[in-house]
């Protein structure tokens, strides 16, 4: 009997997705609307992401322009961006908010690269935790005599290969983000 790893595979996929979402929030030298995904404003009593209450455009290589669909949101948007960890001072002209991204200096690039490495390590730990849960599942199947010892060894080998594949994927995603950060 082969051991089914679909659930564990899905969990490892989710770990990669979460890592990529986290990386989307780390700003690089060029503007990306995803840096606004974690910033919310109160809209009809509900905290709503800025990207869902207005349009975000990038007119040039260093600027994001947010045009809210409801102009009463300009002040709350401005305040939310100021108190966020984005580190950019918004410019409100009464119709739109402009975010001018300064080029990253070398020190800031290194800080962000460390942050990428930390997030990558966290993702690897999450993948290994999924592996541990899968190992417990395999041992439980063996204990309940649902699989043979040979099946157990084969399943553990398959699980290790799956884990190695996802650890490699985490490294690849981290390397792409680090290269993006180090681009001038």
Task: Report whether pLDDT(112) > 80.
Answer: yes
pLDDT in tens, 43-92: 888 888 888 888 888 888 778 898 988 888 888 888 888 888 777 888 88
Same structural domain, 120 and 171? yes
Distance between CA atoms of 160 and 134, rounded to whole angstroms?
A: 10
Q: What percent of the chain has pLDDT over 70?
A: 96
Instruction: Report residue 10's pLDDT band, with 50, 70 and 90 as the boundaries.
Output: very high
Same structural domain, 163 and 177? yes
Which stretch of DSSP H or E encloses residue 48?
strand 46-49
Task: Report whether pLDDT(103) > 80.
Answer: no
Domain boundary among 67, 84, 100: 100
Domain boundary among 83, 100, 117: 100
Domain boundary among 77, 100, 123: 100
Distance between CA atoms of 59 and 97, rounded to whole angstroms?
A: 13
Same structural domain, 56 and 112? no
Distance between CA atoms of 112 and 117, rounded to whole angstroms?
A: 9
CATH number at residue 138: 1.10.132.20
User: Which residue pairs, CB below 8 angstroms and at least 24 apart, start in 175-183?
Assistant: 177/23, 177/26, 177/116, 178/113, 178/116, 178/117, 180/28, 181/26, 181/28, 181/29, 181/104, 181/109, 181/112, 181/113, 181/116, 182/109, 182/113, 183/28, 183/29
pLDDT in tens, 122-145: 999 999 999 999 999 999 988 888
Using a 10 angstrom Cβ sphere, with 0-12 exposed, 13-18 middle and 19 or more buried, the burial of residue 101 is buried
**Claim: this prediction has a pTM higher than 0.95:** no
Q: What residue numbers bound the domain in which 72 lies?
A: 30-100
Number of domains in the chain: 2
Same structural domain, 178 and 148? yes
């Amino acid at each position: 009997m082969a051991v089914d790893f679909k659930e564990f595979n899905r969990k490892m996929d989710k770990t990669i997705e979460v890592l990529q979402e986290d990386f989307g929030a780390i700003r690089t030298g060029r503007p990306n609307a995803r840096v606004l995904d974690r910033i919310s404003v109160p809209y009809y009593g509900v905290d709503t992401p800025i990207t869902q209450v207005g349009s975000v455009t990038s007119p040039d290589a260093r600027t994001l322009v947010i045009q809210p669909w409801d102009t009463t949101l300009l002040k709350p948007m401005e305040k939310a961006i100021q108190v966020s960890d984005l580190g950019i001072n918004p410019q409100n002209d009464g119709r739109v908010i402009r975010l001018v991204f300064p080029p990253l200096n070398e020190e800031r690039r290194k800080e962000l690269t460390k942050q990428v490495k930390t997030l990558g390590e966290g993702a690897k730990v999450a993948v290994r935790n999924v592996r541990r849960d899968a190992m417990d599942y395999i041992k439980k199947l063996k204990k309940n005599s649902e699989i043979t010892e040979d099946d157990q060894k084969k399943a553990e080998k398959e699980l290790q290969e799956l884990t190695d594949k996802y650890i490699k994927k985490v490294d690849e995603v981290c390397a792409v983000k680090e290269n993006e950060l180090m681009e001038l």
